[in-house]
Chain A
């Protein structure tokens, strides 16, 4: 069983959903982001998304754009991102790591070579925001051969017929984009989610994580109990950005503040799981 499947199975047995925090690789520098990655599981991360910085993140809001720019300025490359994951895997063989980013750097690296290198580094899944299933044949076979899950995004705008088509090309889990918009700009209501998730559930047996607009512990608790997991990205990157000095460098506050926030999110997600359904 893959790390992703195993983790969701364990959590289901515990009766709770997953907290999936996001970090942008090399933000604000390699050492800090690697240290953050290593500390995330102890702070309460059940799965981790690692952003691969791209120069033109057209589906992302200002917070992730800024994080990507800091990462690129700090020298992020795909080789460097994979190397970070490999370092992380020396100490943690259980927490699933999902790489999230845009397709061009991966195409430039070479799909087959990338899938092989990512799997060897200990990556479990890939989310390529701008590679819909219509264009996905370039990566489907090499990902499958390397044992990498291709995690698909579905949105409120995805009609039922299309949902089936998209999910036929999905593995690992399904990432439900809870709002119609870019990352970190607004949030869906519990009511919206409660009516949207059963529609997705009816189309797949995969676990469902909710992302885009999950910011507070309350929202994370709600999302992870309505679905099977909650992705928190912009809220954490915003906290990280606040702790940087005037030159954009990490300060002694950077790691503790982000980890404390992950702790609060994790606590809420775990507490939500203890309540009777």
Chain B
């Protein structure tokens, strides 16, 4: 298996898109950065040093690969979706099966890397934010594995719509704290997790679940998730003898997308497409499409595209998928958008629901509502492409957690 966090060095070539961020955590000189209160600054700097040291330590890589293989179950397969390909009638569709990872999503890739780092740093208490609960479940899982105290902040709205995951986290020994501030979704949970961290800096590690937050989180989470893209590259070479032509991934904060995009950034022939949650529609005012309908600003420690009003107050996002219901996006995506290296599009709640059912019926795979956004866009794009086009969809999570939400939208009482 490829060394999961070695790309920085491997990409040390000129004109590479893989050399960001700079030492200040800025992507393209503009996005990212470290916008946190002074109480947290020393911790962020310490974390950066600790991460740089771990990155350079072969023992850390060996430990990570061990857990990736024997605990997470990597590598995840690259599945040729024959019936979906036939139904769409265009590009050849492959699914990168991240939903087969332990805990059912790509989230564990990042969480495993960070918990090993937290242990190296001597931290004993973990705090994390969660939206759909996938990151919370992954975090609670590794805390159980390593016997660490775990506090998960989750918006009260999300606690309501993701009950199975709340129960899972509690079974795993985590304390789940419902956050009632704001709309009670991911952004509010993030605020509350940061407040906890500020108040408990001595023993606590904040385990951010996406490629956002103050530097080094966006780069570090991307590095830990890049195993997805590295594997995809090898697996596609083995299956088809070449690189894919198109890679499609859903974007909330953007960690599964960054993980599959990053190893392809310097392969100019590969189209990278991020699918944001358009909610009720990009122009409905009820959307989570930060790149398409937001503008750059500063929230949660980084500068990035944000949904905000004319006065710089952050808007509430909307998506049927709790995991995409966030008014921001990872700063590297903002940069990739501006330089045109990746394309960003939207899929609505309805399109995601249709794709959820389609993927289930055609492939026998129940996708997470998050991942269903990527499937939805692939369904639109594939028919317009020649049959020899290779299109990979990152199937970032499984949809068992979403059956209650989907049933409700389909008018079914469980």
Residues of chain A at the chain B interface (Cβ within 8 Å): 54-61, 65, 72, 77-78, 102-109, 129-132, 134-135, 152-159, 162, 166, 177, 180-182, 185
Contacts and interface: CB of A to CB of B under 8 A. Distances in A.
Interface string B266-304: 000000000000000000000000000000011111010
Contact of A56 (B36, B42, B43, B187): B187
Q: Most chain-A CB neighbours within 10 Å: which of B33, B43, B200, B311?
A: B311
A157 B39 contact: yes
Given A59-B37, A134-B24, A166-B38, A105 B201 contact: no
Interface of B: 24, 33-43, 45, 181-182, 187, 190-191, 194-195, 198-202, 297-301, 303, 306, 308, 310-314
Contacts of A103: 35, 298
11 contacts: A56-B300, A58-B300, A78-B311, A104-B299, A106-B312, A107-B297, A134-B33, A152-B38, A159-B42, A180-B199, A180-B201
Given A59-B39, A153-B37, A158-B41, A130 B198 contact: no
B308 A108 contact: yes
Q: Most chain-B CB neighbours within 10 Å: which of A59, A61, A102?
A: A59
A211 to B, nearest CB: 12
A181 B201 CA distance: 8
A166 B42 CA distance: 11
Given A155-B38, A162-B42, 5 more contacts: A55-B313, A59-B37, A152-B38, A157-B201, A158-B42
Contacts of A77: 311
B195 A105 contact: no
Q: Is the interface of A mostly helix, strand, loop or mixed?
A: loop
Contact of A185 (B182, B199, B297, B314): B199
A158 B194 CA distance: 17
Given A103-B35, A157-B39, A166-B38, A181 B312 contact: no
Contacts of A181: 39, 198-199
Given A132-B38, A159-B42, A108 B182 contact: no
A72 B195 contact: no
A179 to B, nearest CB: 8
B298 A104 contact: yes
Nearest to B188: A56
Contact of B34 (A57, A72, A132): A132
